[in-house]
Structure formats: C-alpha cells, structure tokens
A = this chain, B = another copy of it.
Amino acid sequence: MTTRPRLTREHVIEAIIDLIDGGRPEELSLRHLGTVLGVDPTAIYRHFRDKDDLMRAVGDRILANVMADLPPPTAPWRDIVVEMCCRLRAAHLSRPGIASFLKSGPPQLEHELRHTEALLFQLRRAGIDDRDAVLAYHALIELAAGSAVLDATMVTLDAIEREAVYESWRAAYGALDPDEFPVSVEMASRLYPGCPDHRYLYALERLLDGIEASAAQRSRDHVPAN
C-alpha cells in the first residue's frame, strides 16, 4: 500500500477476483477497479486490449482451479468426469458475464484447453468411441456452463433467502387454477427440490447414464459377437 509497485496484469486480475469473492460483482466497472487499484481507470488499457480481453484473462485464471488436485487419473473415469464438471459449473457460477468466456473460442484460454484434453481423455478411457466422445464432451460442457448461467442469480443468495424464494414460487404454482394447470398444482410442493447443486448433479448423472448406454449400444452394433 505504501509502496506503489507498477501495475501488472496480475494486479488487475487479482483485484477482480477479490471483488467477485467479496460478493460485489456489480462493482466490476473499470472506473471502480481503478479506484480499488489506486490508479487511473484508463491505465488498465495499458495491459488489456479491452474489457472483454480482461474478463477472458480472469476466466482463465478461475478455470485454473478446476484442474487443480483432481482425483488421480487412475480413479474411475466417471468420478473424475463428475468432479471436473461440478468444478466447471462452480467456476462459471462464481463468474459474472460468462458470455465473453467461451464465445471467443477455446484456443484463447490455456486452462480450457487442458480441461478439454482431460475430459476427452477420460471419455475415451471409458471405452466411448471418438465420434461419441466428442458429442459427449460438448454435451457435458453445455450442461455445466448452462446450468450455471441459470442458477447464478440464485446462488448469490444465502441458503435461507434462496429457500424463501423457492417457497414463494411453489406457492405461486400451487395457487394456479387447477382446471388449467392440474399437474402443476398437484406437484407444486415438489418443485425446486434440494439445492441447485443437487439438481445439477441429478441432470449430470442422467446425462452420463445416457452417454454410457448409447456408447455401449454402438459398440455392440459394431462388434455383434460378444
């Protein structure tokens, strides 16, 4: 603080991650970032082309955590895949503005490349042929990142507030006209079961079930004799 080290890319990235972790994702403007860093807001343009470039760097930094301390590669493939997908989801959940993350393409994010490599490796290890492995990889990414986008706003609330919101939604379903919405009214109390993570896990496990079954079916077609 008293010393004034020259501004680096790392300083900026670090400051943003602190703001995100501190639960103040609305303060991510370059102007606010400048005051936090004790620097003119436009100084950031010395190190990043534009805000998109900056957020991409932050995204890659967050993705680094996804790959750290995974189960050993000899663990059951499905355990590893589930762990990676849950962490990918968590990484996306912690990051506002996911759009600028993947849209610009994987080759720009070093850690996303490592993530792709590890997922494809595990899917292949599961005995899934290359064509299905690629489709399965895309499916896993879409579910993990996509569910994070939908849950992002709810996860910023603490568990009690969140449950209160869900309860109000259940009540709204329950109060519908039973002639027009018979199933919704009947199932209202069962909606939004458990926490968002738990619901994601169900979706992920079912998707993996389907991927496994389909891959087994295909290899049976190709090698009819057992």
Count this chain's copies in the assembly: 2
| Chain B hits for A199, CB < 8 A | 135, 138-139, 142
CA of A149 to CA of B107, assembled, Å: 19
Stretch touching chain B among A5-13, A34-42, A65-73, A184-192: A184-192
Residues from 132 to 150 in A contacting B, C-beta threshold 8 Å: 133-136, 138-139, 141-143, 145-150
CA of A99 to CA of B25, assembled, Å: 15
Interface residues on A, range: 35 or more
Knowing A99-B153, A139-B199, A139-B202 are in contact, say whether A187-B146 is a contact too (CB < 8 A). Answer: no
CA of A165 to CA of B193, assembled, Å: 40
What is the chain B residue whose CB lies nearest that of A146? B146
B141, B147, B168, B206: the one within 8 Å of A136 (CB): B206
| Chain B hits for A113, CB < 8 A | 173, 176, 181, 184
Stretch touching chain B among A56-64, A75-83, A207-215: A207-215
A187 touches B120 (CB 8 A): yes
CA of A146 to CA of B148, assembled, Å: 8
CA of A208 to CA of B139, assembled, Å: 13
CA of A114 to CA of B133, assembled, Å: 36
Instruction: List 24 interface pairs A-B (beta carbons < 8 Å), by A numbering.
Output: A98-B149, A99-B149, A99-B152, A103-B154, A105-B165, A105-B168, A106-B172, A113-B176, A114-B181, A120-B184, A121-B183, A134-B187, A135-B203, A138-B199, A138-B202, A139-B199, A141-B150, A205-B210, A205-B214, A206-B210, A208-B210, A209-B209, A210-B210, A210-B213
Q: Give A residues with C-beta under 8 Å from B.
A: 98-99, 102-103, 105-107, 113-114, 116-117, 120-121, 124, 130-131, 133-136, 138-139, 141-143, 145-150, 152-154, 165, 168-169, 172-173, 176, 180-184, 187, 190-193, 199-200, 202-203, 205-211, 213-214
